[in-house]
Chains A and B, each alone.
Chain A
Amino acid sequence: MEQLHGCPTGESRGQATVFPSLGQYLPLLKKLADEGFNMCADLTAVDYLTHPGRPLPEGVSAERFELVVNLLSLDRRERMRVRVQIAESDVIASLFDLYPGTEAMEREVFDMFGLLFSGHPDLTRILMPEDWDGHPLRKDYEIGQIPVQFKQVNS
């Protein structure tokens, strides 16, 4: 198994992926930023609560959540995906200092999944109202339903 800066790598449908642990995450991202991945195109998360048996490279143990970061190098025209396993109680190091553009994306992940980021300047809800309970994109968050009443139409 090939390694990148000490982290296992893999690929999915031809797209390069690297799997750092939570501790390796920020140092790895710093190294990748120095190597020319100058833009963080996307940052999101996945809740694997109901699908725990996904394929992962050796040495990576599956946790409930996964943080998915898509990096982009404008000079080399390359993309790199970083997938980090996150347990529910973990606190993730914020990428704000490295890529200020991740501010809104990390807020969205906090809002939708309830994952915490340390060092984020303003970790508040972004899409849901400030006083909302729960995190909608978690798999154990129920899909709401509104009771509908049908009235008889007088013809």
Chain B
Amino acid sequence: MSLVHQTNEGGQELAARSELTAKELLREVGSVLRMSEAEVAAMALEEIDPSTDQTMIINMGPQHPSTHGVLRLMLELQGETVLRCKPIIGYLHTGMEKTAEQLSFMQGGTNVTRMDYLSPLNNELVFSLAVEKLLGIDGDIPERAVWMRMLLSELNRMSSHLLFMATNGMDLGAVSMMIYGWREREQVLRFFQKVTGLRMNHNFIRPGGVAADLTPGWRDDVLHILDEVEPRLEEYDILMTGQPIWRERLQGVGVITSQEAIALSATGPTLRSTGVPWDLRRDQPYLHYDEMEFDVIVGSYGDAFDRYAIRLNEIRESMKIVRQILDRMPSGDYRIQDKKVTPPPRARIDESMEALIHHFKIFTEGFKVPEGEVYVAIESPRGEIGCYIVSDGTSTPYRLHMRAPSFVNIQCLPHMMRGGLVADAVAVISSVDPVLGEVDR
């Protein structure tokens, strides 16, 4: 029901607050401080009357230890309360999308893997899936490669969430949690080092399959990780989840509704914490996730505690998936036997002139990708990571764009922080878990 209120500018329609849509509310409340640095600096020079001027603008970051890298927040404060805020990004911008236009599809993996440096394998996976779709070979990838990709991306989700446990604990003063989180993540990284040769920035998942087969004894290594991490998660529950100080610190902090989260295009744990069961692994399955048995964890309050609990339980779900992968890992090729995409094995080069030519061509020119454009999205630990590639028929992408989940998710920060305390701002940033390498690209 709407009321009409007569003003000197004519009738104005009034509606109950509950009738406002999330979009109208977001606009009306105005949590975002839309002000440039120069404007803020000019304000500092103005004469102010301390009895009426109760707010101040301060900077948090980019060198603040709890802003997860080089995120800078301009906070408008009234006493200890945050009114408006503006996330300022770009301190880590290195033009990776421009660089991608210079690198061939063969080399592109080394570039994209450095964007979200906490889940590099998910970056490589989405890039490879997009290139394969452009090449039209997305149905021909050998089964072993597909299952290996799933195994690695789930382990990567575990390592990324374990690091979240560590940094979230550190930001809120639970320093012992920081050490435990890093300790468990180390187990996963050791496995990655064994299989891919590197702890981070692997360039292991490539268009056409994966770079190498699993190392002998990999099954025992994975089982060892699962056996180690599983009881440790129970310890986290004792240390954190049920602990009154931890709950006091997180519950009811940084609340966002599901309508707001959808309007702000938030994905991943940030969206799921509001009760929207949206997980691309279940809702738009890629690889063989449709054959996997797992639960999509959702929260109900949309606060920082829900986001913590979701990530903790997603580690358990990932372990469930990894166990199923262990049972079903097939044998066979680990990359497609298409000579235009996959370089020949080293031994063949000595025997065959053609193999030598293919090898030389692939590593100097790369392979040509038919003209077209494609958008592929997968579920990274932070949300929907999308890869939009335009090819003009040559061996380098004409345009490569990564839809980075953190870049979109940090738009929620002002709305989560409004009306909260400065001390809670730290908890809010931490609960969104942005990776600045991906935000700035």
**Interface contact A70-B403, CB-CB below 8 Å:** yes
List which B325-381 residues lie within 8 A (CB) of chain A.
Answer: 371-375, 377
Q: A42-B403, A137-B98 are in contact. Are A99 and B265 (CB under 8 A)?
A: yes
Task: Report the minimum CB–CB distance from A41 to chain B (whole Å).
Answer: 6
Q: Chain B residues near A38 (CB, 8 Å)?
A: 262
**Per-position binary interface string of chain B over residues 238-255, scored 1 when its CB falls under 8 Å from any chain A CB and 0 otherwise:** 000000000000000000
B175 at the interface (CB under 8 A from A): no
- Contact flags A55-95 to B (C-beta < 8 A → 1, else 0): 10000000000001010001001010100000000000000
List 7 additional contacts besides A51-B398, A70-B386; criterion CB under 8 Å. A41-B267, A41-B403, A99-B265, A101-B264, A104-B407, A125-B90, A127-B440
| Size bin of chain A's contact surface | 35 or more
Chain B contacts for A42, CB-based, 8 A: 375, 386, 388, 401, 403
Residues of B within 8 A of A98 (CB): 23
Interchain CA distance A51-B372 in the complex, whole Å: 12
CB within 8 Å for A101 and B284 given contacts A42-B386, A126-B89: no
Q: How large is the interface on B (under 10, 10 to 19, 20 to 34, 35 or more residues)?
A: 35 or more
Minimum CB–CB distance from B165 to chain A (whole Å) comes to 27
Contact A74 to B98, CB < 8 A, known contacts A55-B371, A128-B93: no
The verdict on A44 contacting chain B, using a C-beta distance below 8 Å, is: yes
For residue B111, CB closer than 8 A to chain A, the reply is: no
B386 contacts which chain A residues (CB < 8 A)? 41-42, 70
Residues of A contacting B: mostly: loop
B36 within 8 Å of A by Cβ? yes
For window 138-155 of chain A, which residues contact chain B by CB distance below 8 Å? Answer: 141, 143
Residue of A nearest to B390 (CB): A46
The verdict on A105 contacting B93 (CB below 8 Å), with A42-B403, A74-B276 known, is: no
B3 interface hit (Cβ, 8 Å)? no
Give the contacting residue for A101; candidates B34, B38, B411; CB below 8 A.
B411
Mark B386-413 against chain A: 1 for CB-CB distance below 8 A, else 0. 1010101000001101010001101100
Q: Is the CB of B90 within 8 A of A126?
A: yes
| B99 → A minimal CB distance (Å) | 8
9 contacts between A and B (CB under 8 A): A13-B374, A40-B265, A46-B398, A46-B399, A54-B392, A74-B262, A100-B264, A122-B32, A130-B37
* Chain B residues within an 8 Å CB radius of A112: 97
Q: Are B411 and A127 in contact (CB under 8 A)?
A: no
The chain A residue with its CB closest to the CB of B260 is A100
A55, A70, A97, A136: the one within 8 Å of B98 (CB) = A136
Interface membership of B134, Cβ < 8 A: yes
Closest beta carbon of chain B to A127's beta carbon, Å: 4
Known interface pairs A13-B134, A55-B371, A100-B263; A77-B283 also in contact (CB < 8 Å): yes
Interface: B17 (CB within 8 A) = no
Is B10 in the interface zone, CB < 8 Å from A? no
The residue in B23, B386, B388, B399 that gathers the most chain A C-beta atoms within 10 A of its C-beta is: B399
Once the chains bind, are A81 and B375 in contact (CB under 8 Å)? yes
Once the chains are docked, how many angstroms separate the CA of A102 from the CA of B407? Answer: 11
- In the assembled complex, the Cα of A130 lies from the Cα of B91 at a distance in Å of 12
Closest to B22 in A: A100
Q: Contact: A13 with B372, CB < 8 Å?
A: yes
Within B72-115, the residues touching A (CB, 8 Å) are: 89-90, 93, 95, 97-98, 102
A70 to B401, CA, bound (A): 12
Q: Looking at the assembled complex, report how far the CB atom of B43 sits from the nearest CB atom of chain A, in whole angstroms.
A: 16
B-chain residues with CB within 8 Å of residue A127 when the two chains form the complex: 89-90, 93, 440-441
